[in-house]
């Protein structure tokens, strides 16, 4: 029995903004494209085949059009919603990226949704049911855009929703390019079941080889145009959808195959709010996956803190371990370049950039690169911070619970630690990183990455004042000794379990067991925690929790503190965080109480021998 069976399933995140796009799409679905642009002639590519393994060796860096397209910031979209996306604007941003950010590693210029839509959001398709450049937005078609971008030494990205867009169906009679007799009727299900996050497309039926041919034909087009990156959007399970109808893993696999067949290395990014349960598929077929809904606020700024930058701190930890060369956790656009347009305080912008950097999320900004302010430039071009993101450091994860004041860290190859302090509260607070939570004692040298200065040597911990929604980013180099701890297994017979709490098997747990069923009054009490001296101890808690859950921790029957434990991503993975517990000299009890809710399963605790 596992406590996870009692877990109420969190409702899948729905993206209201994404639904908004859907509404616009639906409203224009009946219209057929009238203007026909010249279809680029497919030409054999001279590019030698490159496996996807060469792609995404590091999180990609660049710019995306969607933040500005989706914003109601005055002047950005004068010709209607999403109208920012035009050749002129894209090339202007590409030029600015090349001039200002390329020296720091930014290289992708990614067009988002709408390149085949007119300003009324009416789509256009070629005679093979493939998206066709909107002549209003891209009068010269898509290839010259990529050429211009390449001419600046940059890479070009393009976008598609998953599935066959309804408007491309053409009563099933539209031929598929280079696919014999295949028509659109052959590539979808007979019942025209819809798919994707907006239900804007018919689901492709890969049982019929024509479907792969259709994807191949799209990939061919992009390769011929010279695109280096594709964002495949509305992909499920995810994008607010689940169930067979919205399972697009086959689509992503088809794209992976189709891209390989083109011989052109094209980075494949899938979006949005992907189902973590299918991470193996995303890893297998793509180079990155959006873990969350849009970061944009669809408001008068590009983003806002509450909607939805701040969600990432809770939503990311379960994904952390899945990031690595070839595929990264995509936190969405990094809109920190212009405070006024971003709609964020300086502190919020720094925290935003800090999390993206240490999470090893792709770093692509959605800002107007022609209007970066000096603080924005300093955030986007800090070489030490970029080096964390692009270097060998593993992605950081929380080493404390997800409380308003929290600490994330990663151990670097040289033995130092990358440590980020966050204050997610709406008022200033001091935040401390305890060396004990990092696993060592004594002194450590602290370098402040954002401010590019060495702060000196700190004993036991570093504490700093952080503004509301603020952060600090340090490299901590230990000068002390490894921390000596005493371990206590949750399943030990000496402990007291109450309520429904029970011991369960757990292959990922030390000793192969854990204590679960900590819900609605379930408690686990460690009875014989011995320390020599009274003090506050950083107790490392190993736990399993498929979603973020809170637990009340107390010692010796004193007042308890509620700690929100970050998700471990599933119910078969154990992670650790450290919680401060005030202990007396001698024997103590430490209690994990589910209170009125559901708590994580507890594997073990490790108590430092000294406070």
Partner 1 sequence: MDKSRPAEPSRRRLLSLAATTGVATALGGLPAFTASAAPRRPTDAPLPKGSSRDQLWWQAPADEHSMIEQGLPIGNGRLGALASNDPGRELLLITDATMWTGGLNDTLDSDGQFPYGRDDFGSFTLLGRLTVDIPDHDLSAVSGYRRTLDLAQGVVSTSYVRSGVTYERQVFASRPDDAIVLHFTQSGGGRYTGSVTLDGTHGETVRGTSFGAAFPNGLRYGAAVKAYGTGGSVRVKDALIEFSECKDLTVVVSGGTNYAPDASAHYRDPSLDPEKLARTKVAAAAAHSAGTLLRTHVADHRALFEQMELSLGTSSDEQRSLDTWERIRARALDDTPDPELEASYLQFGRYLMISGSRGSLPLNLQGLWLDGNDPDWMGDYHTDINIQMNYWMADRAGLSQSFDALTDYCLAQFPSWKKLTQDLFNDPRNRYRNSTGKVAGWAVAFSTNIHGGSGWWWHPAGNAWLCASLWEHYEFTRSRSHLVRIYPLLKSACEFWEARLITTTLPGTSREVLIDDRDWSPEHGPQDAQGITYAQELVWALFDNYRTAARELKKDSAYAETIGGLQERLYLPKVSEKTGWLEEWMSPDSLGETTHRHLSPLIGLFPGDRIRPDDSTPPEIVKGATALLTARGMESFGWANAWRSLCWARLKNAENAYQLIINNLRPSFDGGNGSAPNLFDIYEVEKGRGIFQIDANFGTPAAMIEMLVYSRPGHLELLPALPDAWAKSGSVTGVGARGGFVVDLRWRDGRPTEARIRSVGGRTTTVAYGRSSRTVTLKSGGSVTLRDFAR
Q: Which residues contact 289 (CB under 8 A, 6 or more apart)?
A: 269, 270, 271, 274, 279, 282, 327, 329, 330
Least distance (Å) between residue 423 CB and partner 1: 8
In angstroms, give the least distance from the CB of 461 to partner 1. Answer: 11
Closest approach of Cβ 552 to partner 1, in Å?
A: 11
Looking at the Cβ atoms of 464 and 567, the one nearer to partner 1 is: 464
Alpha helix locations (H) across 289-400?
A: 312-315, 339-342, 346-358, 374-380, 383-390
Q: Which is nearer to partner 1, 73 or 352 (CB)?
A: 352
Nearer CB in complex with partner 1: 269/348: 348
Rg (CA), the chain: 26
Closer residue to partner 1 in complex, CB, 190/559: 559
Under the rule (CB under 8 A), what is the footprint of partner 1? Answer: 346-347, 350, 426-430, 448, 450-451, 453, 455, 463-468, 470-472, 534-536, 558-561, 582
Rank residues 205 and 448 by Cβ distance to partner 1 and give the closer one. Answer: 448
- Least spacing, CB of residue 452 vs partner 1, in Å: 10
Min CB(585)–partner 1 separation in Å: 12
- CA 559 to CA 555: how far, in whole Å? 8
Residues 6+ positions from 430 with CB-CB distance below 8 Å: 405, 463, 464, 465, 466
- Measured from the CB atom, the residue of 154 and 476 that comes closer to partner 1 is 476
Beta strands in 224-350 (DSSP E): 229-233, 267-270, 288-290, 328-330
Smallest separation, CB 453 to partner 1 (Å): 6
Minimum distance from CB of 370 to partner 1 (Å)?
Answer: 24
Neighbours of 1 (CB within 10 A): 12
Scanning the structure block, which residue is given the tokens 């696919």?
179
State which residue, 467 or 521, has the beta carbon closest to partner 1.
467
> What minimum distance in Å lies between the beta carbon of 470 and partner 1?
6
CA nearest neighbour of 3 among 521, 541, 502: 502
Report residue 444 as tokens: 């450590």
SS3 category, 22: helix
Least separation, in Å, of the C-beta of 296 and partner 1? 24
Q: Are 284 and 255 in contact (CB under 8 A)?
A: no
d(CA 37, CA 126): 8
Tell me the C-alpha to C-alpha distance, in Å, between residue 386 and each of 290, 303, 358, 536.
20, 22, 9, 36
Write down the least CB distance from residue 44 to partner 1, Å. Answer: 54
Q: Whose structure tokens read 């002549």? A: 135
Is 76 or 357 the residue whose CB approaches partner 1 more closely?
357
Q: CA-CA distances (angstroms) from residue 442 to 99, 399, 445, 461?
A: 46, 18, 11, 9
* 197, 236 Cβ separation under 8 angstroms: yes
Distances (CA, A) of 283 to 56, 253, 287: 11, 11, 7
Determine which helix (DSSP H) or strand (DSSP E) holds 93, and give its type and residue range: helix 87-96
Nearer to partner 1, 119 or 561 (CB): 561
Residues 287 and 274 sit within 8 Å (Cβ to Cβ) = no
Burial of 368 per CB tally in 10 Å (0-12, 13-18, 19+): buried
Beta-ladder partners of 526: 590
CB of 327 closer than 8 Å to CB of 283: yes
Judged by beta carbon, residue 164 or residue 449, the one nearer partner 1 is 449
- Rounded Cα distance, 408 and 316, in Å: 12
Q: Which is nearer to partner 1, 283 or 346 (CB)?
A: 346
For partner 1, the closer of residues 208 and 477 by Cβ is 477
Minimum distance, C-beta of residue 451 to partner 1, in the bound complex (Å) = 5
Residue nearer to partner 1 on the CB measure, 31 or 468: 468
Nearest distance from C-beta of residue 474 to partner 1, angstroms: 10
Q: What's the min distance (Å) between Cβ of 420 and partner 1?
A: 12
Tell how strand 61-64 and strand 108-110 pair up.
parallel
Could you report how far apart the first and last alpha carbons of the chain are, in Å? 36
């Amino acid at each position: 029995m596992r406590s996870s069976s009692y877990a109420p399933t969190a409702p899948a995140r729905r993206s209201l903004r994404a639904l908004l796009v859907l509404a616009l799409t639906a409203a224009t679905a009946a219209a057929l494209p009238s203007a026909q642009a010249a279809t680029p002639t497919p030409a054999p590519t001279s590019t030698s085949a490159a496996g996807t393994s060469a792609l995404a060796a590091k999180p990609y860096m660049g710019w995306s059009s969607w933040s500005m397209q989706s914003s109601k910031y005055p002047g950005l979209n004068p010709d209607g919603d999403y109208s920012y996306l035009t050749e002129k604007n894209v090339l202007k941003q590409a030029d600015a990226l090349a001039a200002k950010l390329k020296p720091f590693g930014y290289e992708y210029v990614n067009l988002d949704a709408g390149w085949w839509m007119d300003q009324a959001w009416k789509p256009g398709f070629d005679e093979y049911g493939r998206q066709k450049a909107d002549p209003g937005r891209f009068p010269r078609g898509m290839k010259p855009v990529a050429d211009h971008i390449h001419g600046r030494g940059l890479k070009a990205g393009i976008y598609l929703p998953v599935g066959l867009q309804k408007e491309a169906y053409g009563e099933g009679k539209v031929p598929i390019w280079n696919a014999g007799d295949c028509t659109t009727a052959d590539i979808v299900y007979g019942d025209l079941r819809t798919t994707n996050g907006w239900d804007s497309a018919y689901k492709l039926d890969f049982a019929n080889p024509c479907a792969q041919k259709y994807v191949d034909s799209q990939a061919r087009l992009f390769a011929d145009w010279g695109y280096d990156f594709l964002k495949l959007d509305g992909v499920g399970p995810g994008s607010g959808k689940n169930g067979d109808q919205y399972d697009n893993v086959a689509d992503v696999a088809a794209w992976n195959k189709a891209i390989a067949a083109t011989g052109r290395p094209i980075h494949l990014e899938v979006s949005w709010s992907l189902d973590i349960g299918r991470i193996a598929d995303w890893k297998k077929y793509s180079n990155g996956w959006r873990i969350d809904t849009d970061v944009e606020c669809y408001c008068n700024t590009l983003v806002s803190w509450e909607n939805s930058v701040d969600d990432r701190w809770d939503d990311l930890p379960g994904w952390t371990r899945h990031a690595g060369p070839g595929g990264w956790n995509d936190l969405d656009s990094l809109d920190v370049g212009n405070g006024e347009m971003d709609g964020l305080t300086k502190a919020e912008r720094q925290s935003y950039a800090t999390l993206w950097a240490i999470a090893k999320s792709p770093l692509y900004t959605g800002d107007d690169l022609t209007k970066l302010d000096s603080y924005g430039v300093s955030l986007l071009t800090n070489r030490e911070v970029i080096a964390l993101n692009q270097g060998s450091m593993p992605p950081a994860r929380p080493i404390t619970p997800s409380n308003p004041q929290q600490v994330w860290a990663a151990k670097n190859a040289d033995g130092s630690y990358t440590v980020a302090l966050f204050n997610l509260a709406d008022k200033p607070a001091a935040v401390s990183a305890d060396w004990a939570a990092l696993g060592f004692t004594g002194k450590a040298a602290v370098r402040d990455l954002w401010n590019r200065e060495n702060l000196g040597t700190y004993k036991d911990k570093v504490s700093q004042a952080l503004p509301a929604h603020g952060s600090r980013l340090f490299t901590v180099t230990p000068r002390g000794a490894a921390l000596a701890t005493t371990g206590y297994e949750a399943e030990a017979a000496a402990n007291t379990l109450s309520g429904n709490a029970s011991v369960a098997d757990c292959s990922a747990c030390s000793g192969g067991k854990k204590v679960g069923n900590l819900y609605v009054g379930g408690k686990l009490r460690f009875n014989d925690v011995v320390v020599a001296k009274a003090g506050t101890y950083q107790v490392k808690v190993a736990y399993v929790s498929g979603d973020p859950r809170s637990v009340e921790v107390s010692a010796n029957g004193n007042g308890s503190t509620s700690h929100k434990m970050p998700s471990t991503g599933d119910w078969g993975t154990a992670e650790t965080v450290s919680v401060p517990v005030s202990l007396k000299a001698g024997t103590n009890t430490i209690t994990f109480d589910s209170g009125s809710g559901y708590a994580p399963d507890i594997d073990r605790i490790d108590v430092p021998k000294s406070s």
